[in-house]
Structure 1
């Protein structure tokens, strides 16, 4: 089964593996989900617990001394955008669960979270204190299709497989579905992986998103090399988008270039 869940581009440096204490590892068809405790995470001293897949990108992290803290920058930036653009929002559909960071932060709101792998939810409940009550197991697009129109204030996409964000979650057809399920002024927020400027896929996602949302904005983390993969936040909305740069956790706005439309069933060779 193809696993889709949340992710960040940063992987544990080899020197940090000396500080990692393996707490749990799956076996059988879900082999590769690992839970570690560590006294240092990306140069920061403390007490942390992380979820990752077979030595790949870290999928979620918790500060064990301050469990309420949001460790990674991209969920902090997404949380700011949600609060800034609709402080009174109530209903959110999220695709990709990870350890449930954003839904856990907004515990008083109504979240429905689609997660493909039930083992991810089981582990997040056991090791990260997630309730899991708001999670539905299944493909996020299929589950979103089943929702009534004009239902949600936000749709949050934070899902990855080995190739990146699944194509059926960034196509024109998907964005049409998302627009239908949102209120008139509702917004979609996406955590993507790319190089920022002159990234062909990021340009294509932005062009495709713009076909369905009149207002868009994109953010990336700074990097010393243009070839570095990094987290990209992209937002599409039915109304003008507001943000305060000082609350974007280091993410800076940028303007993607023109790109091709991403369509269901249309491969790269057909463009």
Structure 2
């Protein structure tokens, strides 16, 4: 595998690396990656097919959104920008993006050609708190590193805030990484989400071994959460055990 470093510098939150590679996910081609120094991959683009979505979780999240509102125009508040994959695929929707690291926003423009909805630099929870009550159809949380999603974005206080900013039929979607089996923290986030939303579903990608880390999506809504398994990019619905409730303090 051949790699070419295009950018490497200490950012506001992490050391950030942008590189080109001729292999991704076992396939040969031309790919560009945005990655933190802790090996947390934040975005990937197929340079030969820029509109192709390489990560599974954006595909699944976009399907859940389309299933929830029939694909109609709606409003989205997105916490976590990466290279802008989700935002650029929200054509027809009113989108507001919050990103903590200004350098990530600059790199998404320079190296990944991001030209979607404007991105506001700042803490996602603080920016969401400034929004009007009931003003969004969807809130998407996609902010994590190898240390996990920040506590203040998975607490009961945050989920109650999110619930207050959603319309009566609104949904929150949370992208997480965790152990494939018996992850107490994932169970805690799931249990905490249930304190704010009456309908909650959990989805996960398959894992080969019990010790492997895998991708989870949690969905919380005031209404039913429809989806088609064949369009969930490999995610399947799972049951999670009861966990502790995450408080702000």
| Change over 3 Å in CA distance of 1:133–1:26 after alignment to 2 | farther
In proportion to residue count, which structure has more strand?
2
| Equivalent in 91, 94, 109 of residue 110 of structure 1 | 94
| Equivalent in 62, 65, 69 of residue 82 of structure 1 | 65
Could you tell me whether the CA contact under 8 Å between 1:193 and 1:232 is conserved in 2?
Answer: yes
Could you tell me whether the CA contact under 8 Å between 2:19 and 2:33 is conserved in 1?
Answer: yes
Could you tell me whether the CA contact under 8 Å between 1:93 and 1:155 is conserved in 2?
Answer: yes
Q: In the alignment, is residue 251 of structure 1 matched against residue 228 of structure 2?
A: no
TM-score, normalising length: structure 2: 0.95
Could you tell me whether the CA contact under 8 Å between 2:22 and 2:31 is conserved in 1?
Answer: yes
Between the aligned partners of 2:80 and 2:204, the Cα distance in structure 1 is 20
The match for 2:149 is 165
Between the aligned partners of 1:213 and 1:34, the Cα distance in structure 2 is 37
The match for 2:172 is 188
Between the aligned partners of 2:198 and 2:81, the Cα distance in structure 1 is 28
C-alpha deviation, 1:39, in angstroms: 1.0
C-alpha deviation, 1:198, in angstroms: 2.0
Between the aligned partners of 2:13 and 2:222, the Cα distance in structure 1 is 39
Could you tell me whether the CA contact under 8 Å between 1:196 and 1:256 is conserved in 2?
Answer: no
TM-score, normalising length: structure 1: 0.88
Q: Which runs of 5+ in 2 are unaligned?
A: none
The match for 1:8 is none
Could you tell me whether the CA contact under 8 Å between 1:40 and 1:46 is conserved in 2?
Answer: yes
The match for 1:26 is 9
1:116-142 deviations in Å (ceiling 9; x for gaps) = 110000000001111264211100000
Could you tell me whether the CA contact under 8 Å between 2:156 and 2:247 is conserved in 1?
Answer: yes
C-alpha deviation, 1:159, in angstroms: 0.3
In structure 2, the residue corresponding to 1:48 is in which secondary structure?
strand
Between the aligned partners of 1:162 and 1:199, the Cα distance in structure 2 is 15
Q: In the alignment, is residue 134 of structure 1 matched against residue 115 of structure 2?
A: no
C-alpha deviation, 1:168, in angstroms: 0.4
| Change over 3 Å in CA distance of 1:132–1:32 after alignment to 2 | farther
The match for 1:13 is none
| Change over 3 Å in CA distance of 1:184–1:262 after alignment to 2 | same
Q: Structure 1 residue runs of 4+, over 4 Å off?
A: 27-31
Q: In the alignment, is residue 198 of structure 1 matched against residue 186 of structure 2?
A: no
